[in-house]
Amino acid sequence: MIPVLGQVFTAPSIDWWALAPQLILLGAALLILVVSALLAERCPAWFSGVVALVAGAGVFVSGFYLWYDIRDSGPRSIVSGALSLDGFAVLFTLLVAVAVVMTVLVADAYLEREHMDSPEFHALLLLAATGAIVMASASDLIVLFLGLESLSIGLYVMAAMQFRREEAQEAAMKYFILGAFSSAFFLYGIAMVYGSTGSTGLAHARDYLNRLDTAIVDQPWMLMLGFALLLVGLAFKVAAVPFHFWAPDVYQGSPAPVSGFMASAAKAAGFAAMLRIFFVAFGQSRTDWSPVLGVLAVVTLVVGVVMAIIQTDLKRMIAFSSIAHAGYILVGVQAGTSEGTAAALFYLFSYSLMVLGTFAVISLVQWQDGQPLDRFEGLADRRPLIGFALTVFLLGQAGVPLTSGFIAKFLVIKAAVDERTWWLAIAAMVISAAGAYIYLRVIFAIWRRPGAVDEEGGEPVAAPVVPPASGFAILGAMAFTLVVGFVPQFLIEFARDAVPVLLG
């Protein structure tokens, strides 16, 4: 109770512990900025990286603490209904923490090699991560929008950080224009939902729909328009066709560690928002949005796979394959069941680790003229472990059993089959068979023995230097991919228990 100008202002009671992940990230970002600004040249080069690493690890630990806290005392709403603390939010917090740690480890040597400013990079990374976590836990559309913007603005700058390369600037410019464009759509969608339900709170919107049930909503077209605009805004963020144009350019032009962060944490945050909005808040009108998402999923899959097949630059190829993977996740989302949601969560978790690992390997092999495939020839011969790890990541993305990617694909297909959407299940699987070609091309290249007889010539390149931090990150991601492929039970349980709940 704080007296303000004679009136009594009742501050909302805030569960500070529940905000620990956001606070840690924010605090670390500010610490980096302040210390590096004050000490300037005297600030040791390792400082920001170590702080970011510790922050990532801290978020991971606090995430686990919250996970068991929720298990004991149940999910709850915090900051007077702005955020919800449930398993769903915490699982995404863990995912973002992993992405932050991986990105910091991979970026360490990369920043030095490319002469980029590491304090700014790390501060922006932490701020973007905060935005991602806020997105995943928001239970109010405006809070969600704020999370989305802090994530996006951080990423715009990170994409441009390699400012000596024109590609990076161009990528950042495209990302910025299209990102802002999609944010505007998302915001207009919020306005429509606000206009038709009278609140930006998701719980409020849900209750409103439940109350009306099948009765005609005051302005049904307005709410439908709101859905559509929210979907467009989020489809941009997760790079679903036909809102994917930015992704290949941006992934290709951005520094490899940033691309990895975009394909993992940023995509996951977009899907978290999508799941919270559509599955939780508008679950009642599942029949309205599910077919739309289904069609979106198939179109995304086809375009992603077909375009990936014709690429010659590895980063661009992975970008298109990342679009295709958004299609698989949409298959899980469109099921509109808790099983489908769990499948999508599982998919996001396992895909994130695979794509982070892939970009980590790519970041080792950096040339001025991009990453054409033949740069990777003979990689397995020169760096067997790295070559094997990349093979595991690619096989995982192709959905070969005994990798986490297979279980993920299996779960989303199962979610679709359980809802009897046969056409979608069959289409997704058949496309995945064609998609295998994308990854086989790369695998063939990296296992090509130098000097082997082949229909195509080409000199193998020198072995890349593997800094210990990157190597550690790559091996960690590989271990995760394989372990989850062999014993997926624990992650399935996590995903199952992390189905979102909505508290008003």
Partner 1 sequence: MDVTTGWYLVLGALLFIIGGVGLLIRRNPLVMLMCVELMLNGVNLTFVAFSRRLGDIAGQTVVFFVLVVAAAEVVVGLGLIVSIMRRRPDVTADDLKLLKG
Partner 2 sequence: MSILAATGDAGFAILNWLILVPAVGAVVVAFIPRGREDLARPVGTAFSAAAGALSVYLLAVFDGSDPGFQFESTRSWIADLGISWHVGVDGISLFLVVLTGLIFPIVLAGLDPHGDPKPYTAWMLVLQAASFGAFLALDLFLFFVFFEVVLVPMYMLIAGWGYDRRRYAANKFFIYTMAGSALMLVAIIAVVSLSASDGGITFDLNTLAERQSLATNTARWAFAAFAVAFAIKIPLVPVHTWLPDAHTQAPTGGSVILAAVMLKLGTYGLVRFGLYLFPEASVYFAPVLVTLAVIGIIYGALVATMQTDLKRLVAYSSVAHMGFVVLGIFAFTVTGLEGGILQMVNHGVSTGALFILVGFIYERRHTRRISELKGLQKAAPVMAGFFTVVMLSSVGLPGLNGFVGEFLILIGSFATRRWWTVVAAAGVILAALYLLWAYQRVFHGAPDEVNAETRDLLTREKLVLAPFVAAIVFIGVYPAPLLDRVEPAVDSLITHIEDNSNYRRPDQPVVVPAPTQSEDTGAETGGEG
Q: Which is nearer to partner 1, 188 or 388 (CB)?
A: 188
The C-alpha atoms of residue 183 and residue 230 are separated, in whole angstroms, by 9
Q: Which is nearer to partner 1, 102 or 153 (CB)?
A: 153
Count CB atoms within 10 A of the CB of residue 214: 5
**Minimum distance, C-beta of residue 131 to partner 1, in the bound complex (Å):** 11
Query: Which residues sit opposite 204 in a β-bridge?
Result: none
Helices (H) and strands (E) in the chain, counts: 20, 4
**Minimum distance, C-beta of residue 438 to partner 2, in the bound complex (Å):** 11
Selected binder of partner 1 within 112, 117, 166, 454 (CB under 8 A): 166
> Residue 194 binds which entry of partner 2, partner 1, none, with Cβ cut-offs from 5 to 8 Å by kind?
partner 1
Specify the amino acid at residue 42.
R
Using CB under 8 A, which residues numbered 359 to 418 contact partner 2? 395, 400-402, 406, 410, 413-414, 417-418
Stretch that binds partner 2, among 99-107, 190-198, 349-357, 485-493 (CB under 8 A): 485-493
Selected binder of partner 2 within 430, 458, 465, 504 (CB under 8 A): 430
Q: Tokens at residue 143, please?
A: 């809070």
310 binds partner 2 (CB under 8 A): no
**Minimum distance, C-beta of residue 426 to partner 2, in the bound complex (Å):** 5
**Which residues in 426-455 are b (16+ Cβ under 10 Å) and which e?**
ebbeebbeebbebbebbbebbbbeeeeeee
**Minimum distance, C-beta of residue 157 to partner 1, in the bound complex (Å):** 6
Q: Which is nearer to partner 1, 157 or 463 (CB)?
A: 157
> Residue 51 binds which entry of partner 2, partner 1, none, with Cβ cut-offs from 5 to 8 Å by kind?
none
493 binds partner 2 (CB under 8 A): yes
Using CB under 8 A, which residues numbered 438 to 467 contact partner 2? 440-441, 443-444, 447, 449, 452-455
What is the SS3 string spanning 315-355? Answer: HHHHHHHHHHHHHHHHHHHHHCCHHHHHHHHHHHHHHHHHH
Closest CA to 63 of 106, 103, 101: 101
Tell me the helix, strand and coil percentages in the chain, rounded to 5.
Answer: 75, 5, 20
Selected binder of partner 1 within 153, 273, 298, 335 (CB under 8 A): 153
Using CB under 8 A, which residues numbered 173 to 192 contact partner 1? 173-174, 176-177, 180-181, 183-184, 187-188, 190-191
Contacts of 38-46 with CB under 8 Å at 24 or more apart are: 43/119, 45/112, 45/118
Closest CA to 478 of 411, 416, 421, 397: 397
The C-alpha atoms of residue 281 and residue 464 are separated, in whole angstroms, by 49
Count CB atoms within 10 A of the CB of residue 488: 19
Stretch that binds partner 2, among 9-17, 173-181, 214-222, 434-442 (CB under 8 A): 434-442
156 binds partner 1 (CB under 8 A): yes
Residues in contact with 320: Cβ distance below 8 Å, sequence separation at least 6, in sequence order: 247, 248, 304, 305, 307, 308, 311, 438
Contact 90, 67 (CB under 8 A): yes
Stretch that binds partner 2, among 106-114, 123-131, 470-478, 490-498 (CB under 8 A): 490-498
* Cα→Cα distances 319→206, 251, 261, 394, Å: 35, 6, 12, 13
Total residues at interface with partner 1 (CB under 8 A): 40
> Residue 279 binds which entry of partner 2, partner 1, none, with Cβ cut-offs from 5 to 8 Å by kind?
none
202 binds partner 1 (CB under 8 A): no
169 binds partner 1 (CB under 8 A): yes
Count CB atoms within 10 A of the CB of residue 195: 14
Residues near partner 2, by CB under 8 A: 395, 400-402, 406, 410, 413-414, 417-418, 422, 425-426, 429-430, 432-434, 436-437, 440-441, 443-444, 447, 449, 452-455, 487-489, 492-493, 496
Residues near partner 1, by CB under 8 A: 142, 145-146, 149, 153, 156-157, 160, 163, 166-167, 169-174, 176-177, 180-181, 183-184, 187-188, 190-191, 194-195, 198-200, 248-249, 252-253, 311-313, 316
